Amino acid sequence: MDANSKKKVPGNTITRDIRTLAAPTGNIYESVVILYKRANQIAAAEKKELTKKLEDFRNDRDTMEEVFENKEQIEISKYYERQPKPDLVAISEFENGELYYRRAQSANPIDINGEE
Protein backbone atom coordinates (compact mmCIF):
# COMPACT_ATOMS: atom_id res chain seq x y z
CA MET A 1 0.00 0.00 0.00
CA ASP A 2 2.87 2.34 -0.71
CA ALA A 3 0.68 4.40 -3.03
CA ASN A 4 -1.83 4.98 -0.23
CA SER A 5 0.84 6.00 2.27
CA LYS A 6 1.84 8.92 0.01
CA LYS A 7 -1.71 10.28 -0.12
CA LYS A 8 -3.04 12.76 2.39
CA VAL A 9 -5.50 10.50 4.15
CA PRO A 10 -6.57 11.49 7.65
CA GLY A 11 -5.58 9.02 10.35
CA ASN A 12 -8.76 9.61 12.31
CA THR A 13 -12.39 9.47 11.37
CA ILE A 14 -13.80 12.91 10.61
CA THR A 15 -17.37 14.13 10.32
CA ARG A 16 -18.52 14.47 6.72
CA ASP A 17 -21.60 15.98 5.17
CA ILE A 18 -23.57 13.12 3.63
CA ARG A 19 -24.82 15.43 0.87
CA THR A 20 -21.27 15.74 -0.46
CA LEU A 21 -20.88 11.95 -0.40
CA ALA A 22 -24.23 11.49 -2.16
CA ALA A 23 -23.54 14.15 -4.80
CA PRO A 24 -21.51 12.04 -7.31
CA THR A 25 -24.09 9.23 -7.43
CA GLY A 26 -27.21 11.14 -6.50
CA ASN A 27 -27.99 8.58 -3.80
CA ILE A 28 -26.27 8.15 -0.44
CA TYR A 29 -26.93 4.41 -0.45
CA GLU A 30 -25.19 3.94 -3.80
CA SER A 31 -22.26 5.97 -2.50
CA VAL A 32 -22.05 3.81 0.63
CA VAL A 33 -22.06 0.62 -1.46
CA ILE A 34 -19.26 1.99 -3.66
CA LEU A 35 -17.23 2.94 -0.58
CA TYR A 36 -17.88 -0.46 1.01
CA LYS A 37 -16.70 -2.36 -2.06
CA ARG A 38 -13.59 -0.21 -2.47
CA ALA A 39 -12.69 -0.52 1.23
CA ASN A 40 -12.98 -4.31 0.91
CA GLN A 41 -10.64 -4.25 -2.10
CA ILE A 42 -8.09 -2.17 -0.20
CA ALA A 43 -8.33 -4.38 2.91
CA ALA A 44 -7.90 -7.55 0.83
CA ALA A 45 -4.85 -6.11 -0.92
CA GLU A 46 -3.30 -5.05 2.40
CA LYS A 47 -3.96 -8.47 3.92
CA LYS A 48 -2.42 -10.22 0.93
CA GLU A 49 0.64 -7.97 1.07
CA LEU A 50 1.06 -8.41 4.85
CA THR A 51 0.64 -12.18 4.61
CA LYS A 52 3.27 -12.32 1.88
CA LYS A 53 5.74 -10.32 3.99
CA LEU A 54 5.09 -12.33 7.16
CA GLU A 55 5.39 -15.61 5.27
CA ASP A 56 9.18 -15.16 5.35
CA PHE A 57 9.10 -15.49 9.14
CA ARG A 58 6.95 -18.60 9.19
CA ASN A 59 8.49 -21.69 10.67
CA ASP A 60 6.65 -25.00 10.26
CA ARG A 61 8.02 -26.50 13.45
CA ASP A 62 6.94 -23.67 15.76
CA THR A 63 4.69 -24.63 18.61
CA MET A 64 3.12 -22.38 21.19
CA GLU A 65 6.16 -22.77 23.47
CA GLU A 66 8.68 -22.20 20.68
CA VAL A 67 7.34 -18.94 19.29
CA PHE A 68 10.04 -16.30 19.36
CA GLU A 69 9.58 -12.59 18.91
CA ASN A 70 11.23 -11.28 15.79
CA LYS A 71 11.92 -7.53 15.68
CA GLU A 72 11.52 -7.31 11.91
CA GLN A 73 8.16 -9.07 12.08
CA ILE A 74 7.00 -6.71 14.83
CA GLU A 75 8.10 -3.66 12.81
CA ILE A 76 6.20 -4.88 9.75
CA SER A 77 3.07 -5.41 11.83
CA LYS A 78 3.38 -1.97 13.43
CA TYR A 79 3.81 -0.38 10.00
CA TYR A 80 0.51 -1.84 8.83
CA GLU A 81 -1.22 -0.83 12.05
CA ARG A 82 -0.18 2.80 11.45
CA GLN A 83 -1.59 2.83 7.92
CA PRO A 84 -4.90 4.63 7.37
CA LYS A 85 -7.90 2.37 7.62
CA PRO A 86 -9.27 1.07 4.29
CA ASP A 87 -12.58 2.89 4.69
CA LEU A 88 -10.79 6.22 5.17
CA VAL A 89 -8.69 5.60 2.05
CA ALA A 90 -11.84 4.69 0.07
CA ILE A 91 -13.64 7.85 1.19
CA SER A 92 -10.61 9.97 0.29
CA GLU A 93 -10.42 8.40 -3.18
CA PHE A 94 -14.16 8.90 -3.66
CA GLU A 95 -14.03 12.56 -2.62
CA ASN A 96 -11.06 13.23 -4.91
CA GLY A 97 -12.75 11.58 -7.90
CA GLU A 98 -10.15 8.81 -8.10
CA LEU A 99 -12.66 5.93 -8.12
CA TYR A 100 -14.15 4.42 -11.24
CA TYR A 101 -17.56 2.88 -10.81
CA ARG A 102 -20.48 2.02 -13.05
CA ARG A 103 -24.05 0.93 -12.61
CA ALA A 104 -25.02 -2.54 -13.71
CA GLN A 105 -27.65 -2.35 -16.42
CA SER A 106 -30.65 -4.62 -16.10
CA ALA A 107 -31.80 -6.52 -19.19
CA ASN A 108 -35.46 -6.06 -18.20
CA PRO A 109 -35.86 -2.86 -16.23
CA ILE A 110 -38.72 -3.04 -13.75
CA ASP A 111 -40.74 0.08 -13.13
CA ILE A 112 -41.92 1.16 -9.69
CA ASN A 113 -45.39 -0.33 -10.25
CA GLY A 114 -43.86 -3.77 -10.88
CA GLU A 115 -44.52 -3.74 -14.63
CA GLU A 116 -41.83 -4.83 -17.07
The DSSP string of the chain is -HHHHHS---SS-----HHHHHTTTT-HHHHHHHHHHHHHHHHHHHHHHHHHHHGGG--TT--TTT----HHHHHHHHHHHHSPPHHHHHHHHHHTT-----PPPPSS---TTS--
Q: How confident is the model at residue 45, as a pLDDT?
A: 95
Look at 104 and 46; give whichever has higher pLDDT: 46
Q: What pTM does this model have?
A: 0.71
Evaluate if residue 115 carries a pLDDT over 70.
no
Q: How confident is the model at residue 1, as a pLDDT?
A: 44
Average pLDDT over residues 32-59: 89
Q: How confident is the model at residue 33 (pLDDT cuts 50, 70, 90)?
A: very high
